[in-house]
Amino acid sequence: MATSKQEFNFDLTILGGGPAGLSAAIYAARGELKTAIIDVSMLGGQPTNYLEIENYPSYPHSGGYELMEKFEEHADKFNVKKFPLETITDVQLEGKTKIIETEDKIFKSKAIILATGAKAKKLGIPGENEFVGRGVSYCAVCDGAFFKEKVICVVGGGNSAIEEALYLTKFATKVYIIHRRDELRADKIIQQRAFKNPQVEFVYNSIPLEILGSNTVTSIVIKNVQTNQIKEIKTNGVFPYIGLSSNAELFGSQLETDKNGFIITNEKMETSLEGVYAAGDIRTTPLRQVITAAADGAVAATYAIKYIEELE
Ligand code: NAP
């Protein structure tokens, strides 16, 4: 059956417009590949939700959104073709021509870089889904201001949990950090800031069991994993920051992944399929930061350029 979709042909298509995708786009377009970058939302990726980034070299203090705007402006300089707000319906990674379909477009390219990142993991407890937008949130920068003079529980002990908890103290009178162990995973410098903040109270060795409320969240039920004691904490908000899961579901079983669903690459960012590269948070990597994602993007684009040169 004839399709009415608009068809585009590129040398390289990049899926995902975060630090990995934009950095790959800059390298590829500067390397004279006809390059497209596609995203399900606006370009910028996860960092656009971070109020402050203070470990991206040469920007000691930058807003996440501002930093990603610079990435995008840089990609614009090399005439990268941008396709934000696309709903991807199909991805075919095998064969010489890689095909991405969106609701109204077909993108054909010689190589592809997957840089769709990762998303917040869910607690998977009763009340979580029901109260999303009514007290449960995964984005402190987006929703923190709704919690002026309120009480918030953050769940997790990594960098995200502690940084976002500190950010939330700008609004909330009290922020509990509920962590399943008695030692935090977050970087020491971030831990120290939280220990010094009188609005933060740590609830260690505890896991959430249920989020309760009526119209909005009113409390969270937690269990102490050492004593099995169950306790209810009155709270207006619950912000889970318990890590990330890969956004690789779209690619189904086409690629090799690790047991957590992150795409396995070699040091050239090559995946298990020829002409398919993965960069940034979507791949198995020991560090998920803007700088490592950007570096992955540069490596992936460099080897995509070589791959396409060899094809020709
Ligand atoms: P993370 O480092 O994986 O930490 C997840 C935290 O949630 C851990 O403390 C973990 O406990 C806890 N957790 C996991 N599953 C849980 C569950 N089912 N119930 C309760 N608690 C659970 O994740 P993240 O903080 O989102 O960070 C993701 C990546 O981004 C990391 O590489 C991080 O360094 C990076 N990041 C960096 C910065 C920065 O450099 N400024 C900021 C944000 C994020 P355990 O500790 O017991 O495993």
Mention every residue, 6+ apart, whose C-beta is less than 8 A from residue 167.
Answer: 51, 140, 141, 144
Superfamily of domain 6-119+244-311 in CATH is FAD/NAD(P)-binding domain (3.50.50.60)
Tens of pLDDT along 201-248? 999 999 999 999 999 999 999 999 999 999 999 999 999 999 999 999
Annotation marks residue 153 as catalytic:
no
Q: Is 39 a catalytic residue?
A: no
pLDDT at residue number 53 = 87
Average pLDDT over the chain, rounded to whole? 96
Ligand 1 mean position to 161 CA, how many Å?
7
Q: How far apart are CA 35 and CA 79, in angstroms?
A: 8
CATH 3.10.20.600 fits 122-240, yes or no: no
Write down the catalytic residue from 76, 90, 104, 142: 142
- In this predicted structure, the answer to whether residue 52 has a pLDDT above a threshold of 70 is yes
Partnered with residue 14 across adjacent β-strands are 37, 113
8 CA to middle of ligand 1, Å? 39
- Ligand 1 within 6 A of CB of 207: yes
In b/e form, how buried is each residue of 177-190, taking b as 16+ CB within 10 angstroms?
bbbbeeebebeeeb
pLDDT score for 174: 98
Helix (H) / strand (E) containing 302: helix 290-311
Indicate whether 59 pLDDT > 70: yes
Query: Which whole number is the average pLDDT over 128-153?
Result: 94
pLDDT digits (tens, 9 = 90+) for 235-250: 999 999 999 999 998 8
Atom from ligand 1 closest to the CA of residue 242: 7
The predicted model gives 164-185 an average pLDDT of 97
CA gap 276, 12 in Å, rounded: 10
Question: Quick one: which of 70, 106, 72, 75 has its CA closest to 91?
Answer: 106
Q: How confident is the model at residue 49 (pLDDT cuts 50, 70, 90)?
A: confident
Confidence of residue 3 (pLDDT cuts 50, 70, 90): low
The catalytic position among 143, 153, 281, 296 is: 143
Do 6-119+244-311 and 122-240 agree at the fold level?
yes
pLDDT at 29: 98
184: left (phi over 0), alpha (psi -120 to 50) or beta: beta
Please state the domain extents for the chain: 6-119+244-311, 122-240
242 touches ligand 1 (CB under 6 Å): yes
